Amino acid sequence: MLPFWAKMVESQRFVCRLYKRETDFLLEFT
């Protein structure tokens, strides 16, 4: 089982990737 901080890092990385994809889409769209 992963420690708590590892889960936090994983979720933050996932959110970061998702956010980057959204901003890239917005930049391409405008």
CA distances from 27 to 2, 4, 15, 16, 20 (A): 36, 34, 18, 16, 10
**Distance separating alpha carbons of residues 30 and 26, to the nearest angstrom:** 6
Q: Is the pTM of the predicted complex or chain greater than 0.75?
A: no
pLDDT band at 3 (very low <50, low <70, confident <90, very high): confident
- Band of the pLDDT at 30, cuts 50, 70, 90? low
Residue-number span of the structural domain to which 3 is assigned: 1-29
Tokens of 25: 């889409």
Q: What is the arithmetic mean of pLDDT over 4-8?
A: 89
- Our count of domains for the chain comes to 1
Return d(Cα 7, Cα 30) in angstroms, integer.
35
pLDDT in tens, 13-27: 999 999 999 999 888
